[in-house]
C-alpha cells in the first residue's frame, strides 16, 4: 500500500465525512441548532459526548498512546469541514482546535496524560485562554502573569471559555511563557459570558486573580505547545470555513435553480450564474489551501506557519464573501431570522476575526516572502526603457 500523498482522499476519510454528515442531519439539524443557541451553555453536552465517544471525531489527531485515534491533522480537518458545514455547536475550537494540540505538544506529565483522554472522549471540555483574535507571537502569553503556580490577569474574547470545564492558560512566568491548567470554578477564576455576534460559538471574558493552577509546560516547551496549538487551530478553522462555504454554495445553487423571477429560474441569469461561478472558484481555493495547511501541520512539509497563513488569508475572505453572497442571492428571504443564512454569515464574520484576520496573515506572508527577497535574488524581468 502506497502512503497517501498530499490531496489524496483516503477511504477512511470518506467514511468519516459520510458518518459525520449523517450524524449532523439526524442529531443536529436546523431545529436542534436553533433550540441550542437559545440555551444557557449554547450546546448539548450529551451530543458533545457522542461526538467524542461514539463517533471518535474529537480524538482524530491524538496519538494512540495518548488515548486518541492516531490520525493526522488532515483527518481532523475533514471532521472540522463537516462539523462546520452543519454549524455543529460545542467547544470545538477551544477543545479540539486549541487545547488538545497544546496538550499533545506539551511534555508528558500526570496532569496532561489524565486530561487529554477526557477531552478526546468528550467527557470534559476545554478552552485556551490567550488573545485569540491575533496570530501567535511573543505577546501571546503577556496578558496573564504566572507566579509560583498562581495566575493573574484578564483576557477578553475567549471562544468557548464559559462552556469549558478546564481552562488552559497562556501566561508569562519568570522564565518565559507558561502553559497552565485551571479548573472552571476554582477560587480566583471568573468567567463572564459576553454577548456574541456568532450565536453558534460563544465568547467570554476570563479574569484570573491569583488562581492556583497546574503548570504543564514552561519556557521553550510552553512556546512549542502554544505555537502548535495556534497552527493546528488555524488549519482546522480554515477547514471549517471551507465546509461552511461549500454548504452555502450548495444552498445558493439549489435556490437559484428553484426560484423563479421574470418567468425563469434566477440561476439562468448571468448576473446570478457568474456570481455562483465565483463562489465555486473561491470554495476550490479554500479547500486546497486548507488541506495544504493541514497536510503541512501533519507532515512538516512546507513551512507550516506560512501554509497556515496562506490558508487563513484565503479561507477567511472566501467564507466571508460566500456568506455575504448567499444572503444577497437569496434576496429578501436571505435577510430574515427564519432563514439559516444569517447564522452562517455571523459564524463567517467571527471565524474571519479569530486567530488573526486575513490582513494579519497577509502581513505575515508579506514579511516572510516579500521582505525576505534580496535585490537580485529573483531575476528581474526585461523592461522596455524607451
Partner 1 sequence: MSSPPTTDTDTDTERVADATRAVVAAHDPRTAPRAELFGALYDAGLAWVHHPEGLGGLGLSRGLQAVVDGIVTDAGGPRMFAVNPIGYGMGAPTVVEYAPDREQAAAWLRPMATCEEIWCQLFSEPGAGSDVAGLATSAVRDGDEWVLNGQKVWTTLAHVARWGMVVARTDPDRPKHRGLTYFVIDMEQPGVEVRPLRQMTGQAEFNEVYLHDARVPDAHRLGEVGAGWRVAITTLMNERTAIGGVTGRRGSGVIAEALGLWAEHPDRHTPVLRDRLARLWTRAEAHRLTLARARRTATAGQPGPEGSVSKLVGAELNQEVYEFCMDLLGPDALLYDDWTMHRADGGGRVHADPGSTLQQRFLRSRANTIEGGTSEVMRNILGERVLGLPGEPRSDSDRPWKEVPRG
Burial class (CB in 10 A: 0-12, 13-18, 19+), 211: buried
| Member of 27, 32, 47, 280 binding partner 1 (CB under 8 A) | 280
**Which residues in the 213-252 window bind partner 1 by CB under 8 A?**
249
Per rule CB under 8 A, is residue 366 in the interface with partner 1?
yes
Cβ nearer to partner 1, comparing 179 with 256: 256
Cβ nearer to partner 1, comparing 196 with 242: 242
Per rule CB under 8 A, is residue 300 in the interface with partner 1?
no
Q: Would you give the distance in Å from CA 119 to the centre of its chain?
A: 16
| Member of 225, 291, 322, 329 binding partner 1 (CB under 8 A) | 291
Rounded-to-integer distance, Cα 65 and Cα 216, Å: 18
Per rule CB under 8 A, is residue 110 in the interface with partner 1?
no
Cβ nearer to partner 1, comparing 227 with 287: 287
Per rule CB under 8 A, is residue 267 in the interface with partner 1?
yes
> Which residue, among 297, 350, 348, 276, has the nearest Cα to 319 in the 3D structure?
348
* Sign of the dihedral defined by the CA atoms of residues 369, 372, 375, 376, in that order: negative
| Member of 313, 327, 341, 353 binding partner 1 (CB under 8 A) | 313
In this structure, what is the dihedral angle of CA atoms 354, 222, 231, 12, given to the nearest 10 degrees? -120
Cβ nearer to partner 1, comparing 66 with 365: 365
Alpha helices of the chain — where are they, by DSSP H? 11-27, 30-36, 45-53, 73-85, 100-105, 110-121, 219-258, 270-299, 304-329, 341-353, 358-365
β-strands 189-194, 150-159 pairing: unpaired
CB of residue 198 vs partner 1: minimum separation in angstroms? 25
**How does DSSP assign 26-51, residue by residue?**
HHS-HHHHHHHTTSSSSS-HHHHHHH
All cell numbers assigned to 48: 458533545
| Member of 66, 111, 134, 253 binding partner 1 (CB under 8 A) | 253
CB of residue 251 vs partner 1: minimum separation in angstroms? 12
Instruction: Kindly state the number of chain residues that form the binding site for partner 1, as judged by CB under 8 A.
Output: 58
**Which residues in the 70-109 window bind partner 1 by CB under 8 A?**
none
| Member of 236, 310, 343, 360 binding partner 1 (CB under 8 A) | 310
Return the range that interacts with partner 1 (CB under 8 A); candidates 79-87, 193-201, 208-216, 283-291: 283-291
| Member of 47, 265, 321, 324 binding partner 1 (CB under 8 A) | 265
CB of residue 241 vs partner 1: minimum separation in angstroms? 13
All cell numbers assigned to 107: 511534555
Helix 73-85 crosses helix 219-258 at what angle (to 10 degrees)? 40
Cβ nearer to partner 1, comparing 129 with 279: 279
N-terminal to C-terminal alpha carbon distance within the chain: 60
Per rule CB under 8 A, is residue 149 in the interface with partner 1?
no
| Member of 38, 187, 270, 300 binding partner 1 (CB under 8 A) | 270
**How does DSSP assign 236-289, residue by residue?**
HHHHHHHHHHHHHHHHHHHHHHH-EETTEEGGGSHHHHHHHHHHHHHHHHHHHH
> Which residue, among 272, 266, 251, has the nearest Cα to 343 in the 3D structure?
251
| DSSP 8-class letter at 223 | H
Per rule CB under 8 A, is residue 284 in the interface with partner 1?
yes
Per rule CB under 8 A, is residue 183 in the interface with partner 1?
no
Per rule CB under 8 A, is residue 326 in the interface with partner 1?
no
Return the range that interacts with partner 1 (CB under 8 A); candidates 150-158, 185-193, 331-339, 368-376: 368-376
Rounded-to-integer distance, Cα 338 and Cα 33, Å: 12
The residues of the shown chain that bind partner 1, judged by CB under 8 A, are: 1-11, 249, 253, 256-257, 264-265, 267-268, 270, 272-274, 276-278, 280-281, 284-285, 287-289, 291-292, 310, 313-314, 362-363, 365-366, 369-370, 373-386
Amino acid at each position: 500500500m502506497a502512503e497517501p500523498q498530499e490531496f489524496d482522499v483516503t477511504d477512511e476519510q470518506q467514511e468519516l465525512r459520510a458518518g459525520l454528515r449523517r450524524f449532523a442531519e439526524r442529531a443536529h439539524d436546523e431545529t436542534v441548532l436553533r433550540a441550542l443557541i437559545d440555551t444557557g451553555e449554547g450546546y448539548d453536552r450529551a451530543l458533545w459526548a457522542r461526538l467524542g465517544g461514539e463517533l471518535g471525531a474529537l480524538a482524530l489527531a491524538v496519538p494512540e498512546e495518548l488515548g486518541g485515534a492516531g490520525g493526522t491533522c488532515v483527518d481532523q480537518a475533514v471532521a472540522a469541514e463537516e462539523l462546520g458545514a452543519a454549524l455543529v455547536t460545542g467547544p470545538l475550537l477551544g477543545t479540539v482546535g486549541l487545547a488538545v494540540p497544546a496538550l499533545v505538544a506539551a511534555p508528558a506529565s500526570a496532569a496532561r496524560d489524565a486530561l487529554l483522554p477526557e477531552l478526546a472522549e468528550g467527557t470534559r471540555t476545554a478552552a485556551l485562554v490567550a488573545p485569540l483574535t491575533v496570530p501567535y507571537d511573543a505577546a501571546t502569553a503577556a496578558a496573564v502573569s504566572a507566579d509560583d503556580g498562581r495566575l493573574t490577569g484578564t483576557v477578553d474574547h475567549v471562544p468557548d471559555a464559559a462552556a469549558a470545564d478546564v481552562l488552559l492558560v497562556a501566561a508569562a512566568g519568570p522564565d518565559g511563557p507558561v502553559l497552565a491548567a485551571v479548573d472552571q470554578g476554582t477560587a480566583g477564576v471568573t468567567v463572564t459570558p459576553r454577548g456574541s455576534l456568532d450565536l453558534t460559538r460563544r465568547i467570554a471574558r476570563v479574569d484570573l486573580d491569583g488562581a492556583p493552577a497546574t503548570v504543564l509546560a514552561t519556557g521553550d516547551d510552553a512556546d512549542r505547545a502554544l505555537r502548535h496549538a495556534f497552527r493546528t487551530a488555524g488549519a482546522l478553522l480554515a477547514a471549517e470555513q471551507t465546509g461552511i462555504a461549500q454548504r452555502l454554495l450548495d444552498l445558493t445553487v439549489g435556490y437559484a435553480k428553484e426560484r423563479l423571477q421574470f418567468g425563469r429560474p434566477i440561476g439562468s441569469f448571468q448576473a446570478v450564474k457568474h456570481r455562483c461561478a465565483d463562489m465555486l472558484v473561491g470554495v476550490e481555493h479554500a479547500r486546497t489551501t486548507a488541506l495544504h495547511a493541514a497536510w503541512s501541520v501533519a507532515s512538516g512539509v512546507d513551512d507550516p506557519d506560512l501554509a497556515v497563513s496562506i490558508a487563513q488569508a484565503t479561507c477567511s475572505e472566501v467564507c466571508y464573501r460566500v456568506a455575504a453572497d448567499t444572503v444577497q442571492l437569496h434576496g429578501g428571504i436571505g435577510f430574515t431570522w427564519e432563514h439559516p443564512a444569517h447564522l452562517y454569515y455571523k459564524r463567517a464574520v467571527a471565524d474571519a476575526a479569530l486567530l488573526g484576520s486575513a490582513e494579519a496573515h497577509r502581513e505575515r506572508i508579506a514579511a516572510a516572502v516579500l521582505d525576505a527577497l534580496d535585490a537580485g535574488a529573483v531575476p528581474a524581468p526585461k523592461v522596455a526603457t524607451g
